[in-house]
Structure 1
Amino acid sequence: MRAHDRSGRDRRASRLAVATGASLALVLTTLVAPSAASAAGYPTWAQVEAAEGNAAATQAQVDLIDASLDSLEKAASDRSDEAVLADQADAAAQSDLAAASQRADELSADAERARATAHTAEREAGQLAGSLFRTGGTQTLGTDLFTSPDPGAALYQLGSLTQLGDRWQTVLADATTASNTVSSLSEQATTAADRRDSLARDARAAADQAAAAQATADAEVASATQRSSDLYAQLAALKDSTAELEQQYRAGVAAQQAYAAQEAAAKAQAAAAARAPSRGGSSGGGGSSGGGGSSGGGATVPGTGRPGGATPPPTGAVNDPAGAKAYAATKVGSGAEYTCLVQLWNKESGWRTNATNPSGGAYGIPQALPGNKMASSGLDWQTNYRTQVDWGIGYIQGRYGTMCAAWAHSVANNWY
């Protein structure tokens, strides 16, 4: 039980200063201007201090802080989810644009080749027509056949002109066909170019929306992280604990819930695969942690993995496979466990922070399904490879025990 004398309060004040670490300025700012927190529905330091020594009031403040943390985390997670979806829409728009551009280029090239063919046929038809005109045609030679002093020569010339006339008819037909082909291909090329231009506008809009969604998510995560620090300090003051310990406890509970949900999803997909093996089950790119992410290289990187993608990834995302691997090595060492983990996540995501599997909904380096499960390791799960690595290793340890056991399961089942 806590003492209520002045020395006890002094000790709690000292612990509070330690718990908040370098955030003393934040505490003072909050004490001076509590109205913003109150307006947002968060407890103020005045309310926290007033509750000390009163069990019911203390519990009420603890419940309010827990609810405030839930609200902050959900808001940050929702904005991150929206950023992921916006980036996937951007990727789809860029892919459609690339396909339309390729089709427009192909039709334009086909029309140009048909135009050259038509020009050649028309020129040859004109030359043949000129030759027929100069010789007077086959009817004149038919008359000459009976009056010529050399009927044999006239007959030979008549045969040649007949062949020339036949050739002219063929070339003229070819020229007509080529001209029609040019007209058709030109029309198709124009239609394809219009579609390409329309998709280009859509792609620019999608890219702008993705950038805006990412900026909103980054701002929400930053705000929630800052506000959470103060809430954990308040929680520690009420529980006679430390902010770090309270944060670790809450994160641990959330992680266990996320791991359990992930395992349930994995079992559900395995059961579905067993019931319908002819549909491929979880193999062929459908499996992942939680049974729904990428496998065998199925994940893509928005902005970089799509055809013709010139739009860079969102500014908040940090795609650094080498850095992510180095960080993972600090968690599992550099031996066999690390080797297994590298192979597993090479297969799943290529160690890319914003690797996505739109068809399954998995996201990130460990291909969590859905990606926001990783919020139990940090609100910046969408952009921070360290948060993703921490969560992924925790999931593997909780479900498989070792990295190599997870890799063996992935090899055998094409998901983990």
Structure 2
Amino acid sequence: MGKLLAVIEREFGERVRSKWFLVSTLFAPLLFAALFIGPPYLAYKSSRSVDFSSMVIVDGSGTTMGDGIATELAGGLMATGQRATVIAVTATDSGKVLDSLRTRLGSNALPAVAVIDANTLAVGTMRLLLAGGAPIVTSERVQAAAERELLRRRVADAGIDLEQAQRIAKLRITATVERVMRDGRSGSAQVNLLFGAGVALLLYLIIVLYGQIVLRGVTEEKQSRVSELVLASVSPRVLLTGKVLGIGGVALVQLGFWTASAVTLLANRGRLLGALGVTSTSITLPAFTLFELAPLLAYFVFGYILYAALFAAVGSIVSSEQEAQQAQTPLVSLLVGSMALLQPALSDPDGPIARTMSIVPFSSPILMPLRLGLASVPASELVLSIVLLVISALAAMVAAARLYRTALLMYGKRPSIGEIIRWIRVNG
């Protein structure tokens, strides 16, 4: 046990003291903040920064619809700001006018040019030319203004009260979707979906990232012949177990910090956006007890051990990092295949595909946490999935240690599948 703890401490301390560990650990919360707060804030700033008074509306409809759109963009009849420039044209001279305006658009002298004609009144079609530096929100605002003006005209032609028609047109249905579990619990389906998908994606990234760290660590030790010195005092099983658990401890620390950062940012997203002047609805995170979080921890720990042992086995049978990149393809394909099954699991979390693959050990660390966030998984399925994962992880560690014992000291020729199987049997 003392040797095992020494190996774990060496692997853990060597990576935690690295400056790159600190950089990668702190970078993720900054990325989360950019993803959670950046898009709504940038959309808010873009919507406020568009100067619609400097755009041009080319009106070929033969009516005053262009003036109406300019009024809507300025804020309505009671607005006091400047309006967009309206140029009334006929079918014969519209081409020359547009050619001159295109030149100004190309030099960013104009943010946008809206073109309306008789078809705008008849079927609601229009053209919008944007300058290269104009935000895309410009098109949304102009289109909304044109829709309001067209509605006003059609309502007036029909002899209907405009205010009443606008109230009717603004009617929307807002549905609050709740998913009711078998045990009676309920929660927001959207939030549960984001939570489940987020957990699955995070576990996938951690397993891939740290599984490959184990692979590179074994490959580098084999190339530098350090393993020959270490194996003189430590058994291969202890060395492999210590390496997997030590690097796993680093992953657990990083995962815990990232999770706490993401939860804190999501819980305070509304306040942060409010401080920036952006109105945003708050996000209520699903409530979980420690007992409910225990399966997620189990899937992370044993999912990582399963793949880390397999990555270590791959690292022990290759002689260079180039060979390692090729040899790890089947393992990466298993993980990528699990991610490819996310869509069927999201569409039908209790369907046969999701239920079957959430029990298979190679995909259960990704798919079962997703199902736990979306549906009420029967206890028998959850227990069976965890038991199979634990057995597979321990079996992978035993097989990897047996292979590790022989393959780590061999150089040059890559062993065949038959030789790998024989080494695992002989060292049993």
TM range (shorter): under 0.3
> 1 or 2, which has the higher strand percentage?
2
Larger radius of gyration: 1
Q: Which has the higher helix share?
A: 1
Scaled by the length of structure 1, the TM-score of the pair is 0.24
With the length of structure 2 as denominator, give the TM-score of the two structures. 0.24
